[in-house]
Chain A
Amino acid sequence: MIEDIELAKNIIAKRIAREFKNNQLVNLGIGLPTMVANHIPQGVNVILQSENGMIGMGPAPEPGKENPEVTNAGGAMVTILPHGCYFDSATSFALIRGKHVEYTVLGALEVDQEGSLASWIIPGKKVPGMGGAMDLVVGAKNVIVSTLHTERGKPKILKKCRLPLTARHVVNMIVTELGVFRVTPGGLALIEINKDTTIDEIRANTEADFIVSDNLKTMEV
Chain B
Amino acid sequence: MFDKIINKNDFTSLIKDGMVIMVGGFLGCGTPETLIDLVLASGAKNLTLICNDTSFVDRGVGRLVAAKQAAKVITSHIGTNPETGKQMVEGTLNVELVPQGTLAERIRCAGAGLGGVLTPTGVGTVVEEGKQKITVDGHEYLLELPLRADLAIINGSSVDKAGNVVYNATTRNFNPLMAMAASVVVVEAEKLVEPGALMPELVMTPGPLVTHIFKSEKR
Contacts and interface: CB of A to CB of B under 8 A. Distances in A.
Interface stretch (A15-23, A123-131, A145-153): A123-131
A53 B26 contact: yes
A134 B78 contact: no
Contact of A67 (B52, B77, B121, B169): B169
Given A53-B173, A129-B75, A134-B127, A93 B27 contact: no
B108 interface: yes
Contacts, number: 141
Contact of A69 (B100, B104, B126, B170): B170
A57 to B, nearest CB: 10
A164 interface: yes
Nearest to A117: B125
Interface residues on B, range: 35 or more
B176 interface: yes
Nearest to B112: A90
A93 B168 CA distance: 19
B116 interface: no
Nearest to A54: B170
Given A86-B172, A89-B52, A135-B102, A74 B29 contact: no
A82 interface: no
B43 interface: no
Interface in B56-79: 75-79
Given A131-B76, A132-B76, A88 B175 contact: yes
Q: Taking chain A's interface residues, is the majority helix, strand, or loop, or is none over half, making it mixed? A: loop
A214 B154 CA distance: 57
A80 to B, nearest CB: 7
B169 A127 contact: no
Interface string A65-109: 001111111110000100000111110110011000000000000
Q: Taking chain B's interface residues, is the majority helix, strand, or loop, or is none over half, making it mixed? A: mixed
A168 B124 contact: yes
A89 B100 contact: yes
B120 interface: yes
Most chain B CB neighbours (cut-off 10 Å) among A67, A92, A168: A92
Given A71-B29, A138-B121, A132 B99 contact: yes
A54 B121 CA distance: 21
Contact of B125 (A68, A73, A86, A134): A134
Nearest to B107: A90
Contacts of B171: 69
Contacts of A68: 29
Nearest to A69: B169
A51 interface: yes
Contacts of A116: 124
Interface string A141-181: 00000000000000000000000111111000000000000
Interface in B107-126: 107-108, 119-126
A113 interface: no
Contacts of A166: 125
Given A129-B79, A132-B100, A135-B121, A88 B127 contact: no
A88 B177 contact: yes
A33 interface: no
A194 interface: no
A97 B120 contact: yes
B30 interface: yes
B175 A93 contact: no
Interface in B150-170: 157, 167-170
Interface of A: 50-54, 67-75, 80, 86-90, 92-93, 96-97, 116, 127-135, 138-139, 164-169
8 contacts: A70-B169, A71-B170, A75-B28, A96-B101, A116-B124, A127-B85, A130-B77, A130-B97
5 closest Cβ contacts across the A-B interface? A128-B79, A93-B101, A75-B27, A135-B101, A168-B124
